[in-house]
A and B are shown apart, each in its own frame.
Chain A
Amino acid sequence: NAGVTQTPKFQVLKTGQSMTLQCAQDMNHEYMSWYRQDPGMGLRLIHYSVGAGITDQGEVPNGYNVSRSTTEDFPLRLLSAAPSQTSVYFCASSFTPPQGAVYNEQFFGPGTRLTVL
């Protein structure tokens, strides 16, 4: 299994440009999520999905869109990039916890380092 893969690894954008960060997992996980990590800070949740066709907002969703047309893929779209979106972006996935369980371990991808000029 490749686990969670993200492309590209690095990206430089100009203000106002759009792009899509790709995330894929081959573990048949129902739950997928996107985080951003800024220097000296922990990860903050952008958007998440509990299954194909279902998405919801996290802590910092503004400026980002997501869709979940398949179980495997969860792309993150920046519609009009801003310098404030310069960050490292991580995608994560996990199984749905079994009934009665609280949580399941999330597996993280290697990240995409995005710079917006």
Chain B
Amino acid sequence: GESVGLHLPTLSVQEGDNSIINCAYSNSASDYFIWYKQESGKGPQFIIDIRSNMDKRQGQRVTVLLNKTVKHLSLQIAATQPGDSAVYFCAENIKGSARQLTFGSGTQLTVLP
């Protein structure tokens, strides 16, 4: 099976609410994690990353939390907007794997008006 997986395949939130997208990983040697956003018909777009020596990292309206104890990663989107509707992927880089990324299967986020 895949090393990185997502708990829920779909997530619907009301516009203005906060969104939380979860991701589990199984490889304790992973030292870098990335969240990508993919809109329909487009390639993945980098959102935010976090290194394994960090627990939290914040960007503009987005926060990534890393819990190495339970091998869990989450992406929080504040004040979700219609433009946030997309598929969100987490990906991990295993230390020493020459920048190879292992992707999860994705969560479809739908923002309701």
Contacts and interface: CB of A to CB of B under 8 A. Distances in A.
Contacts of A42: 2, 4, 89, 91, 102-106
Nearest to B93: A103
Contacts, number: 69
A2 interface: no
Contacts of B102: 42, 59
Q: For B4, B41, B46, B103, which residue has the most chain A Cβ atoms within 10 angstroms?
A: B103
A111 B42 contact: yes
B99 interface: yes
A98 interface: no
A45 B101 contact: yes
Contact of B44 (A43, A56, A58): A43
Given A44-B103, A50-B98, A106 B31 contact: no
A58 to B, nearest CB: 6
B113 interface: no
Category for how many chain A residues contact B: 20 to 34
A41 to B, nearest CB: 5
Interface in B76-99: 89, 91, 93, 95, 98-99
Interface in B1-46: 2, 4, 9, 31-32, 34, 41-46
Contacts of A90: 43-44
A31 interface: yes
B99 A31 contact: yes
A103 B99 contact: yes
A110 B42 contact: yes
Contact of B31 (A4, A102, A111): A102
A102 B42 contact: no
A94 B105 contact: no
A56 to B, nearest CB: 7
A25 B108 CA distance: 29
A94 B43 contact: no
Interface of B: 2, 4, 9, 31-32, 34, 41-46, 49, 51, 89, 91, 93, 95, 98-106
